[in-house]
A and B are shown apart, each in its own frame.
Chain A
Amino acid sequence: MKQEDKTLIQDICARFNRDRTRMMDVLIEAQRALGYLSSDVIDAIAEALAIARVEVESAASFYAFFSQKPRGKFVIRLCNDIIDKLKGVDRVASALREQLGIDFGQTTDDDLFSLEWTSCIGMCDQAPAALINDKIVTRLSSDSIREIVRSLKEHGDFSKLKLALGSGNNSHPLVRSVVDNNLLQRGAVIFAPSEPSQALGKALAMSPTEVIRSIKTSRLRGRGGAGFPTGMKWEFARNATGDARYVLCNADEGEPGTFKDRVILTEAADLMFEGMTIAGYAIGSEQGILYLRGEYAYLRAFLEDVLAQRRSKGLLGDNVGGKAGFNFDIRIQLGAGAYICGEETALISSCEGLRGDPKTRPPFPAQKGYLDMPSIVNNVETFCCVTRILDKGAGWFAAIGTTGSAGTKLFSVSGDCERPGVYELAFGVTLAELLKIVGAEDAIAVQVGGASGRMVNPSEYGKKLCFDELATGGSIMVFGPGRDVIKVARAFMEFFCEESCGYCTPCRVGNRLLKQGLERFIRGMAEPSDIEYLEQLGKTVKTMSRCGLGQTSANPVLSTLQSFRSEYERRVVKNTSGLQPSFDIVKALRDSETIVKRKSVHVGH
């Protein structure tokens, strides 16, 4: 390794105070500077941080966006979620393969391009989409991607591409992205006009326990999907013992089909940061962390600027808002492409510079979270609600929505509908009403709550969207006439196979078996007992897995078995031979025949 590279690594580590808990930042910066994380780079980081090599390598090998092999100057990551597939991502992929002469997972000989697949990047309303390094390109077609690649080959500069900038702050000088907000309906809470900093002022005039009481009175529940009462979580953290407390904002919006946090981050970042600051005051914290998914790195400079402005206005830093003794600041922790880090304990692991492995609960983060200190992890949208509650009052908020689900909810709608985008609607709106608003009244199936949610059939469209009936963290994927729900379920299982951290067996192995089971139905090789098999296996994965990923990953199978059982039943074929139709002896012998250069004397020839 060159001495100058070594010095560079040492400088990066020094910038983060040689703090091993800042491993994510060190790895991100090292990769940015040197292209990839070679074995030498990993050794140099280990030496500079004075830790074992394996600690560096275990983190470096975990995240999809870190590479231990050399890659092209431009890494094109094409999004392969189900909505992108419906919108023709395969044609884009073929165009890329053809033009670059490489397959996915490979790099061109001139080291200019690498091709990779990636899970949902939060652009389902403008699919197909891809990441080119940390920039986004959307609404791709085979023609547009050819033109992008041609231009990059010509001048090698992404900023020279002639791309129309997106709406709102997407054309801000610090963002300059093609992404569109598609914010198609503003509601009373998140996207209503509001006076900045009013809420923080009101909160600082109250005592911390009064702030928490106000949040409890508002009946605010977490917007990430699980719906845990926010005030209660804060109270646990406030009452737990610890030398420090932390406020973590979960902007690792990875649930397929969810992109509402992206719009908040772009258009209402102050509202979110204000909510985090109020939370800091309420639980007695001095440090907040915004965990920003790696896919949204294009927003980072803009968000850093928002934070800098808040600091200069005295809304972050020492004596926040003029309140003597209340010191609070926020840093941004960038992720690196791991869905599991949206799970709160995995998110904490990642912030601590570890692999994004979930931790065993209890203890819950409110007792023992980031750096083993009491911590709250809340969704981006939840913090925005907090700000509005403090501004307009708990009673005002509680009066919106339903009894069990107060307030409004942002819905990210994508798929077979006329107007995909973000809609802010009061909780309690029925699915049928939403489908009418988005122009999808002919939907044959709707996936509510992303891959880990459930598939709903038309007989249930009258149900309300709220925590007690159809719960969702925001994702609504619409499937129109002619779509095959079992193929959709298989796409979700492919996603979970890819994103399982591999720690526990039910999830690591069970999800693969579920996917194979679905394939038998798709290939017409399933028999009646396979329905029961999938049901049993699904329940095992659901009940035996360690964290929320595995506990929900069987839902695509279990919920389609429930809501679309006839789709399964019509495909089964009774098999009396006792042989497995999926076993293909000709294929199983092909390698052997090539190696020993003779045909099987028994089979198939």
Chain B
Amino acid sequence: MSTKPKVATTSLAGCFGCHMSLLDIDDRILKLIELVDFNKSPINDIKKFTDRCLVGIIEGGCSNEENVHVLQDFRKHCDVIIALGDCATMGGLPAMRNHVPLKECLEEAYLKGPTVYNPGGKVPGDAELPLILDKVYPCQEVVKVDLFLPGCPPPADTIWQALVALLNNKPLELPYELIKYD
């Protein structure tokens, strides 16, 4: 059994862009696998936690009940939760719907939108589909979050340096270029 620290990742109401940025660390990913084992993550397609993890990296906020469930599961299994990117830290683009009542959003998407073809005339409500929350919640409104890495997406170098600092128990020092987004 490996004694390497374990890392889990997930994408909730995000676009997977933050995960793409994580992969942008290029060949350093080989170094990363030397440092850590990946547990539940879309990178290795492990669906369920098999062990306790040191770090849980969350992309995206919570838009539906499944997102909440997954996020709470991460909180239960991970010592340190990182909210990665603007959607996880602030809700991001999906949270633009927070200004519009949910009913109007769903009607626009499934009933009234100019390109909608929906002869049944119903908003999808199959039990297989997770229910949508009244608004998009950033992660820290649902669980306690330990670290925030803003950016849309945060650059690979930012993610890399944050992980390395965390794994080596060193203070995180990010040069200005890595955290400016204007």
Contacts and interface: CB of A to CB of B under 8 A. Distances in A.
B125 A580 contact: no
A582 B142 CA distance: 8
Interface in A65-83: none
Contacts of A600: 65, 131
B134 A578 contact: no
B143 A592 contact: no
B179 interface: no
B103 A578 contact: no
Given A597-B125, A598-B125, A592 B132 contact: yes
Given A578-B75, A598-B125, A598-B127, A592 B142 contact: no
A592 B144 contact: no
Chief secondary structure at chain B's binding surface: mixed
Contact of B131 (A578, A583, A592): A592
27 contacts: A578-B75, A578-B81, A578-B143, A578-B144, A579-B72, A579-B142, A582-B141, A583-B68, A583-B137, A585-B65, A588-B133, A588-B134, A588-B135, A589-B134, A590-B134, A591-B101, A591-B102, A592-B133, A592-B134, A593-B131, A595-B102, A595-B103, A595-B123, A595-B125, A596-B123, A596-B124, A600-B65
A595 B143 contact: no
A595 B106 contact: yes
Nearest to A527: B144
Contacts of A593: 131
B123 A589 contact: no
B141 A591 contact: no
A603 interface: yes
A344 B131 CA distance: 50
A329 B130 CA distance: 70
Interface of A: 575, 578-580, 582-583, 585, 587-593, 595-598, 600-603
Contacts of A589: 65, 131, 133-134
Contacts of A575: 144
Interface residues of B, number: 27
Nearest to A600: B131
A589 B68 CA distance: 11
Contacts of A602: 65, 69, 130
A72 to B, nearest CB: 26
Nearest to B146: A578
B112 interface: no
B80 to A, nearest CB: 11
Contacts of A588: 68, 133-135, 137
Top 7 A-B pairs ranked by shortest CB distance?
Answer: A596-B125, A592-B131, A578-B75, A588-B133, A591-B102, A591-B134, A583-B142
Nearest to B140: A580
A602 to B, nearest CB: 6
Given A582-B141, A589-B131, A589-B133, A603 B65 contact: yes
B144 to A, nearest CB: 5
A206 B133 CA distance: 73
Nearest to A579: B143
A588 B143 CA distance: 15
Given A579-B142, A579-B144, 13 more contacts: A578-B143, A579-B72, A579-B75, A580-B141, A588-B68, A589-B131, A590-B134, A591-B103, A592-B132, A592-B133, A595-B103, A598-B125, A602-B130
